[in-house]
Amino acid sequence: MTKLLPRNFKGQTLVIILLGTSIALTLALAVSVRTVSTLKQTTTTAQAQEALAAAEAGAEVALAKLKTSTCGLYSCDASNIPVESSNPNSSLYSVKVTQGGGGADPYLLDLVKDQTQEIKLDGSSGSSVNLYWYNPDLDGTTEPDNALELIYFYAEAGVVKISKSAYNGKAGLPNGFPLSANNGDFQVSVSGKQVKFKHYVSISLTSVAKILRVKTLYNNISAALVTQPAGSLLPVQSYVIDSVGQSKDGRVKKAIRVTKSLPSLPSIFDFGLFSGSQTEPLAK
């Protein structure tokens, strides 16, 4: 004798089918979203690499132009730098070249520990320069150990001479450095904004000033060079290249900045300069 299923069990097959279908649709949707996301990410990465390559190409073109006769060692006409690539089927770039120094504005420096920064003074219209260093906003509110070695080249009676000095920025450092003559809170106006420095030293310039070499010890430190009197001009010290590249469809852009300094001797040559000569040997 056949037994009938109770009424409560009718329609269970349909429920199971609907549940299985919902799970399958959910899994398919998740896979689809993941696939689309991965594809989009891959496309964006490729476009980003394309834009970055274009920006690097623009910077390379600008660097090459800076070596030409139309862009000399101490001056450059920015109009000689191409605005964008000439091939419309390629990724585009735009380039802007600005000068570091070459005017009356303060020249900002990032002094790297044990590395020498060379400043061109030939052609400066000032009678002196003030070198400020240690900005609490950039270098930390707790002052790190810092000291500067300065080598000043100038000409006198047709003979190039060297003046050497060293300054402690922070009191209590060893090695016999004298403390800098000026310590306190000094304000330097940079693009209309007041930038604070804790130390500065003034270097008097002769009429035939040549080069000032600055070396920092113990830690990296921020600095600024200001010509005196106010409004005096400083020769060009470097070129800053800002290059922006974009993909062919223009949807992705990348920007890079390259700073090209003027030729200078590496830091290792300072050893010979500090050693003096046979008549003025380095003394301990």
Which pLDDT tens digit goes with each residue over 242-269?
888 888 777 888 899 988 888 887 777 7
Task: Write out the chain in H/E/C secondary structure.
Answer: CCCCCCHHHCCHHHHHHHHHHHHHHHHHHHHHHHHHHHHHHHHHHHHHHHHHHHHHHHHHHHHHHHCCCCECCCCECHHHCCCCCCCCCCCEEEEEEEEEECCCCCEEEEECECCEEEEECCCCCCCEEEEEECCHHHHCCCCCCCEEEEEEEEEECCEEEEEEEEEECCCCCCCCCCECCEEEEEEEEECCEEEEEEEEEEEECCCCEEEEEEEEECCCEEEEEEEECCCCCCCEEEEEEEEEEECCCCCCEEEEEEEEECCCCCHHHHHHHHCECCCCECCC
pLDDT at 213: 92
Q: What is the pTM of this model?
A: 0.67
pLDDT the model gives residue 89 = 47
Residue 101 sits at φ, ψ, to 5 deg, of 80, -160
Q: Could you tell me if 121 and 227 are in contact, meaning their C-beta atoms sit under 8 angstroms apart?
A: no
Q: Worst-scoring range by mean pLDDT, 28-42, 78-92, 105-119, 201-215?
A: 78-92
Average pLDDT rounded to a whole number, residues 115-141: 88
Domain ranges within the chain, ordered by starting residue? 57-71+78-97+241-261, 103-234
Domain 103-234 has CATH 1.20.120: no
pLDDT of amino acid 73 = 41
pLDDT score at 87: 44
Per-residue confidence at 283, pLDDT binned at 50, 70, 90?
A: low
Residue 11 pLDDT: 60
Residue scoring higher pLDDT (256 or 270): 256
Average pLDDT on 77-86 reads 45
